[in-house]
Amino acid sequence: MERKGEMTKALLGQKFKELVVKKSFDKITIKMITDEAGVIRPTFYNYFRDKYEVMEWLLWEDVFSSATELVKMNMARSALEMIFKKIAADKEYYARVFEVKGQNSFEDMLYHNICNLVHVVVERNPIHIKEGEIISKETFLQYEAMTLVNGIKYWISKHRNEISAEEAVKFYEFLVSHSLIDIIGQDTMDKVIN
């Protein structure tokens, strides 16, 4: 019976995904999802509270459950690649859910999942920030998560058809490992500032 329940939940998620690609998120109703899945409306509520929960569950199931497992095996770079590849595999869906704004925005869901993933990375590979330095460990982790969320958002909304997942990962790595000073040089930076 449990297997059937998992299949029904996955079917509801898949039908939700298909609807999001065709329609605006705001226009999708629970009835539309259940009609597409061929189940009655109460069945939906056996698995999800609302369509926001479907979106959050899909993000975990499709992207972050496997990425988290990779991080736990000390394969953080592979996890990063997987995040980009999984999003690229459903790029139309992810481009559309990035349009969901407000209290339950997709962007917030993505940020939360990335923060959790970065915490797992740091638990296994301590960062070197000393007490009293310019930022705290928590601020650093939040900044890293915001950087990755915004990078994914920009990539999927503007360049998903021009930049592959592999190229996006390399570009992200370049950005987080180089400062503007590295790129334009200290002398040029001094001129810009003064």
Least confident of 78-82, 96-100, 118-122: 118-122
What pLDDT shows up at residue 152? Answer: 93
Count of H helices and E strands in the chain?
Answer: 12, 0
CA-CA distance, 27 to 20, in Å (whole number)? 9
- pLDDT for 30-72, tens place per residue? 999 999 999 999 999 999 999 999 999 999 999 999 999 999 9
Which of 67-76, 111-120, 155-164 has the lowest average pLDDT? 155-164
Rounded to the nearest angstrom, the gap between the alpha carbon of residue 51 and the centroid of all alpha carbons in its chain is: 17
Q: 94: pLDDT confidence band, cut at 50, 70 and 90?
A: very high
Angle, to 10 degrees, between the axis of helix 76-89 and the axis of helix 165-177?
130
**Cβ contacts of residue 55 below 8 Å, gap of 6+?**
16, 97, 100, 104, 106, 109
How far apart CA 93 and CA 96 sit, in angstroms, is 5
Ordered domains of the chain (ranges, CATH):
1-48 (1.10.10), 50-194 (1.10.357)
* Lowest-confidence region among 15-19, 103-107, 148-152, 171-175: 171-175
Confidence tier at 173 by pLDDT (50, 70, 90)? confident
| pLDDT attached to residue 13 | 97
Is 181 a residue whose pLDDT tops 90?
no
